[in-house]
Amino acid sequence: MWYRWLLLLLLLPINTLAANQLKSAVSGNFPDGLHAHFIEYISEQLNAEADIALMPYARRLIELDDGSIDMMVGVSGSAPIGNHTILLRPAYDNLSIGLFVLTGNESLFTEADDMRKHLLSLTRHANSDAILSEIPTAHIVPARSLEQKIEMLLKGRIDGFLHVTQSTKLRLKELGYTNRITQAVYQPPQVYKQYIAINNHSWLYAHKAELEAIIVNGIATGAFQSIRSDYYANGP
């Protein structure tokens, strides 16, 4: 009889660890980027182990809703989330979308109306979707990643692209393109709230109140802002 108790004791830590594994995902362009740091912070607060996969934004939304991952950070309020996805309140961060062009072409965009006159690339189902109403469909070139946008701009296939301002500047620095690509004169004025989202069938759902308390505390103590500031300060 004693061996059954021994077997139970040996299995208990393994099951507990499995239950506390937090599956998430980030962009393949930034495997150790800001989103990964936010995920690690949430995992630490929950005393869970983070398992972070790499996939594009739109794919992350799909896999979150079908339960393949438990949590996603950097979800905009306008994102097309599914029936099994829940946005945690409040928003943990705000960001701006930058309009980038080849150096020397800054004046191609001096006002919002100029976005109707030129070819622009953006990521579907991302924060820049809110700007779509200002751009004719014929002038939109969808892209799956920031690197794809950069490549199209350098090859002259587009006149500019929209992407998160700070992460774009960091990536351009990493690639050595800061002298070739810069921001246009006109910049979209919108600021977008960023949410953490979970699947309502995930083990995290039982900890929804705790997660939202972690977010509130992270905002109040400046933890999220410190993670962001440290990340960009320590960039290459």
Q: What is the pLDDT of residues 136-188, one digit of tens each?
A: 888 899 988 889 999 999 999 999 999 989 889 988 998 999 999 999 999 99
Q: How does strand 140-142 pair with strand 120-122?
A: parallel
Residue among 179, 181, 185, 113 at smallest CA distance from 152 = 181
Residues 6+ apart with CB under 8 A from 214: 42, 45, 46
pLDDT tens, position by position, 191-200: 889 999 999 9
Residues 6+ apart with CB under 8 A from 106: 182, 183, 184, 185
Quick check: 7 pLDDT over 60? no
Question: Both ends of the chain: CA-CA distance in Å?
Answer: 60
Mean of the per-residue pLDDT values for the chain?
Answer: 87
* 126 vs 86, more confident: 86
pLDDT band at 17 (very low <50, low <70, confident <90, very high): very low
User: Token digits for 127?
Assistant: 């924060």
Look at residue 167 in the predicted model and tell me its pLDDT: 83
Q: How far apart are CA 225 and CA 228, in angstroms?
A: 5
Q: Provide DSSP, 70-109.
A: SEEEEEETTS---TTEEE-SS--EEEEEEEEEETT-GGG-
Phi, psi of 160, deg, nearest 5: -175, 170
Residue 114 corresponds to which amino acid? D
Q: How many residues does the chain have?
A: 236
Quick check: 11 pLDDT over 70? no
Q: Which domains does the chain have, with CATH numbers?
A: 2-93+192-233 (3.40.190.10), 95-191 (3.40.190.10)
Q: Are 27 and 61 in contact (CB under 8 A)?
A: no
Q: Are 184 and 108 in contact (CB under 8 A)?
A: yes
pLDDT tens, position by position, 77-98: 888 899 999 999 999 998 889 9
Tell me, yes or no, if the pTM score tops 0.85.
Answer: no
Residue among 190, 193, 166 at smallest CA distance from 115 = 190
Look at residue 203 in the predicted model and tell me its pLDDT: 96
Q: Are 217 and 223 in contact (CB under 8 A)?
A: yes
Q: Say how many CA atoms lie within 13 Å of 210 toward its Cβ.
A: 11
Residue 137 corresponds to which amino acid? T
